[in-house]
Amino acid sequence: MNTQLAPHEAIEIRALISQEMLGIKKINASMSLVQDNELKSFMQDSLNAKKASLQNIQSALS
Protein backbone atom coordinates (compact mmCIF):
# COMPACT_ATOMS: atom_id res chain seq x y z
CA MET A 1 0.00 0.00 0.00
CA ASN A 2 1.35 3.43 -0.98
CA THR A 3 1.22 5.78 2.03
CA GLN A 4 3.05 8.69 0.42
CA LEU A 5 1.02 11.79 -0.38
CA ALA A 6 0.63 13.04 -3.91
CA PRO A 7 2.01 16.55 -4.48
CA HIS A 8 -1.44 18.16 -4.61
CA GLU A 9 -2.41 16.40 -1.37
CA ALA A 10 0.71 17.67 0.38
CA ILE A 11 -0.13 21.22 -0.74
CA GLU A 12 -3.69 20.89 0.58
CA ILE A 13 -2.48 19.51 3.92
CA ARG A 14 0.08 22.31 4.25
CA ALA A 15 -2.61 24.92 3.54
CA LEU A 16 -4.95 23.34 6.08
CA ILE A 17 -2.24 23.27 8.75
CA SER A 18 -1.33 26.91 8.03
CA GLN A 19 -4.96 27.95 8.29
CA GLU A 20 -5.44 26.18 11.63
CA MET A 21 -2.19 27.61 13.04
CA LEU A 22 -3.12 31.12 11.95
CA GLY A 23 -6.50 30.75 13.63
CA ILE A 24 -4.84 29.60 16.85
CA LYS A 25 -2.45 32.56 16.79
CA LYS A 26 -5.26 35.05 16.16
CA ILE A 27 -7.42 33.69 18.96
CA ASN A 28 -4.50 33.64 21.39
CA ALA A 29 -3.55 37.21 20.49
CA SER A 30 -7.04 38.59 21.01
CA MET A 31 -8.10 36.50 24.02
CA SER A 32 -6.57 38.92 26.55
CA LEU A 33 -8.46 41.85 25.01
CA VAL A 34 -11.89 40.27 25.48
CA GLN A 35 -13.88 41.26 28.56
CA ASP A 36 -17.11 39.34 27.92
CA ASN A 37 -17.02 35.94 29.65
CA GLU A 38 -19.40 34.30 27.17
CA LEU A 39 -17.29 35.42 24.21
CA LYS A 40 -14.11 34.39 26.01
CA SER A 41 -15.60 30.93 26.62
CA PHE A 42 -16.55 30.65 22.94
CA MET A 43 -13.04 31.66 21.93
CA GLN A 44 -11.55 29.05 24.26
CA ASP A 45 -13.80 26.39 22.74
CA SER A 46 -12.73 27.46 19.26
CA LEU A 47 -9.09 27.35 20.32
CA ASN A 48 -9.50 23.85 21.70
CA ALA A 49 -11.23 22.71 18.51
CA LYS A 50 -8.43 24.08 16.32
CA LYS A 51 -5.78 22.41 18.48
CA ALA A 52 -7.68 19.11 18.29
CA SER A 53 -7.91 19.49 14.51
CA LEU A 54 -4.13 19.92 14.27
CA GLN A 55 -3.60 16.86 16.45
CA ASN A 56 -5.95 14.85 14.23
CA ILE A 57 -4.03 15.89 11.13
CA GLN A 58 -0.75 14.98 12.80
CA SER A 59 -1.99 11.55 13.87
CA ALA A 60 -3.41 10.87 10.40
CA LEU A 61 -0.06 11.68 8.80
CA SER A 62 2.02 9.52 11.14
Torsion of CA 49, 51, 52, 54, to 10 degrees: 120
| pLDDT tens for each residue of 28-59 | 999 999 999 999 999 999 999 999 999 998 88
Q: Structure pTM?
A: 0.78
**How many whole angstroms separate alpha carbon 25 and alpha carbon 47?**
9
Helices marked H in the chain:
7-31, 37-61
Nearest to 38 by CA among 46, 49, 48, 29: 46
15 confidence band (pLDDT: 50, 70, 90): very high
